[in-house]
Amino acid sequence: MKFFSLLVSSAGLYSRRKETYVIGTLVVFSTGLLTQAATGVYGLSLSVSALSAGAFIEVIRLRARSRQSQLERLWPQVFDSFQNATQSGLSLQEQLEYLAIKGPVRLRVHFEKLHHDLDSGKDIGESLEVFREAIGSRQGDSLSLLLEVTTELGTTGIAESWRKAAANLRGEQAMFGEVVAKQGWVLGSAKVALVAPWLIAFLLVRLEQNRVAFETELGALVLLGGLLLSVLAYVAVNKLGSLTLPSRIFNATC
């Protein structure tokens, strides 16, 4: 559940996480019911329901990857902006108000929310927790951490920290960008290949003699065995194809 919560946060769906869980549940059950209505084979219906759960997770994962890829290009200029604000002597509230109006378009709503929360007297720790959960990225965690340090220890020497953070982000983007893109294509192709056997099974049950065979206990065991192998293959693909990338500083919780 923690994995899915982090994935939902990365996809920018944290504020709608309950709706996301409900939609996912409806997708799984409706897929199973439709398959049962179309084929009458319980083993195949159960297997397709499980596969639809994996497909739903993959849709969230693709949304999260696309969103984070777009946001990563914006963070260096945000850190540069905080560096300039610190050197100019602007307060945190003034800088947040500026970013809410003039900052990157995709991030404005988050800075506006943070500015409003702090302006209304909310605790900065709680406000930053809401901020980083809504952002759902390691860069948002880094920004949150630097803001907390600034609040606790003051701004002395913090401008250099902002500069180094921006430089590190640009370096990471240059290093990992192309590798991550290639990894996405390879993993995507491997996961699509896992669907092929089930498309064949769905076509086979259209023939009456095959449908009767799959309705037996042995046929159900064959289908469930295939489901188990598909799950193991899915886990293996994700494990073997994973890259050791910097992880989030904070763990978002629901």
* Dist. CA 52–CA 29, nearest whole Å: 9
* Dist. CA 198–CA 218, nearest whole Å: 17
121-154 confidence digits (pLDDT tens): 888 889 998 898 888 888 888 888 888 887 776 6
Residue with tokens 């500069």: 163
Q: What is the mean pLDDT of residues 93-112?
A: 91
Give how far Cα 128 sits from Cα of 115, 124, 212, Å: 10, 6, 59
What pLDDT score was predicted for residue 253? 42
What pLDDT score was predicted for residue 98? 92
17-26 confidence digits (pLDDT tens): 889 999 999 9
Residue with tokens 């990225």: 137
What pLDDT score was predicted for residue 23? 94
What are the tokens at 103? 């900052």
Helices (H), ranges, the chain: 2-10, 17-39, 42-72, 75-88, 92-102, 105-119, 124-135, 138-153, 158-193, 196-204, 208-215, 217-240
pLDDT at residue 254 is higher than 50: no
Show me where the domains of the chain are located.
2-72+196-240, 75-173
Residue with tokens 């809401």: 130
What pLDDT score was predicted for residue 177? 65
What pLDDT score was predicted for residue 138? 82
57-102 confidence digits (pLDDT tens): 889 988 888 887 788 888 888 888 988 888 888 888 899 999 999 9
* Dist. CA 133–CA 116, nearest whole Å: 16
* Dist. CA 187–CA 193, nearest whole Å: 10
Higher-confidence residue of 193 and 212: namely: 212
